[in-house]
Amino acid sequence: MSSITTSPFWSTGIEQLKAYVPGEQPQTDGWIKLNTNEMPYPPSLRALQAIRDGVNEKLRLYPDPSGTALRGAIANQYGLSPAQVFLGNGSDEVLGHAFLGLLKHDKPILYPDISYSFYPVWCGLYGIAYQQVPLNARFEVDVADYKVPNGGIIIPNPNAPTGIALSLAQLRELLEANRGSVVVIDEAYVDFGAESAVKLIPEFDNLLVVHTLSKSRALAGLRVGYAMGHPALIEGLNRVKDSFNSYPMDRLALAGAQAAIEDTAYFQQLTQSVIASRDWLTAELAKLGFETLPSSANFVFSHHPQFAASWLLEQLRARRILVRYFAKPRIDGHLRITVGTQAECEALVLALQQIVTVAGQKQEVSV
């Protein structure tokens, strides 16, 4: 991490930017990495082969700037037309373009106060006014709170870091109440138990749904994301993209992503494996006294009433197990734990059993 805090050569406003801080990426082997919500299983063999096949003399040529074949595969998957699909270098880039191209208006945009921490970063970068809407006491998004004048709405569904999802009926209610604003539903984790808003696209021309291949498709290292919505919304995103980088997707990413999208059997196998381990992990954490929010994602958000989350984080790290902790109001007592392989989940539970048992014994002795 650089120690430089300012420079006279920076553009106006850069000094005030508070950049997004990603989860720790260990530089050595031997860690159980449950802190960045990556898929613990390998990518589709079909995707890997497509990437290998793409390593040829055509790399001297620019890739297809519109990603025609991949957009077609995505459209076919969801019953849309290619004109309703936008591609980007990871869903973060797609979302960044949406903030600039669709969410910058006179009125403030709305998003949950406990949510993806990149949202305020984009607002700061692009000078977008915003208002954070508090989750309710159960850490849920209440769509009634979004029935106020706004310049747009963005909500992750399932939400992160809570993992709690809105139903399709709730999403329809949200969209009906905000037909004059763009509503972005960030569905990075939707494939692990929530219902996608994609099926609402024909009803609402103000709906943009954003997906990523980083989670359920096991391709975080490939950096592929996409958005789906009315062609007018997609055209707005394309104008931003083509004013920034006409070729955001390289040839290997396009090939691998298309193969992964088309390998539906493997995709279903991956997601079902994660869901089974998530349910097991939630039950085991409860046996140790943890209180875990109901998750429809590939992670759980858990709290222990007797032990500080920051302390548990360090205890696990000492055992080379990484989880995520947010030192923020309302959630600083929770840990966000990625669902790993079943073996990794079992190792985590064993470590927590040891930590909780030893700590409990020390408390008894001190009394």
The per-residue pLDDT for range 59-88, each reduced to its tens digit, is: 999 999 999 999 999 999 999 999 999 999
Residue range 144-171: mean pLDDT, rounded? 98
Query: What pLDDT score was predicted for residue 262?
Result: 98
Residue type for 187, please?
A: E
Query: What pLDDT score was predicted for residue 365?
Result: 45
250 CB contacts (<8 Å, ≥6 apart)?
A: 63
Render pLDDT for 259-311 as a digit per residue (tens, 0 to 9).
999 999 999 999 999 999 999 999 999 999 999 999 999 999 999 999 999 99
Query: What pLDDT score was predicted for residue 362?
Result: 64
Residue 9 above 70 pLDDT?
Answer: yes
Query: What pLDDT score was predicted for residue 4?
Result: 81
Residue range 15-38: mean pLDDT, rounded? 88
* 149: nearest Cα among 208, 117, 105, 184: 105
Average predicted confidence (pLDDT) for the chain: 95
Query: What pLDDT score was predicted for residue 164?
Result: 98
332 CB contacts (<8 Å, ≥6 apart)?
A: 309, 310, 325, 326
Tell me the CATH class for 14-41+265-366. alpha beta
Q: Which CATH architecture has domain 45-263?
A: 3-Layer(aba) Sandwich (3.40)
* 101: nearest Cα among 225, 221, 237: 237
Map tokens 């747009």 to a residue.
152
Query: What pLDDT score was predicted for residue 107?
Result: 98
Query: What pLDDT score was predicted for residue 16?
Result: 84
118 CB contacts (<8 Å, ≥6 apart)?
A: 20, 92, 95
Residue range 113-131: mean pLDDT, rounded? 96
Task: Please confirm whether the linkage preceding 161 is cis (ω < 30° from 0).
Answer: yes
Measured distance CA(210)–CA(187) in Å, rounded: 6
Spans of all domains in the chain: 14-41+265-366, 45-263
The answer to whether the 14-41+265-366 and 45-263 domains have the same CATH topology is: no
pTM of this structure: 0.95
Residue 2 above 70 pLDDT?
Answer: no
Query: What pLDDT score was predicted for residue 65?
Result: 95
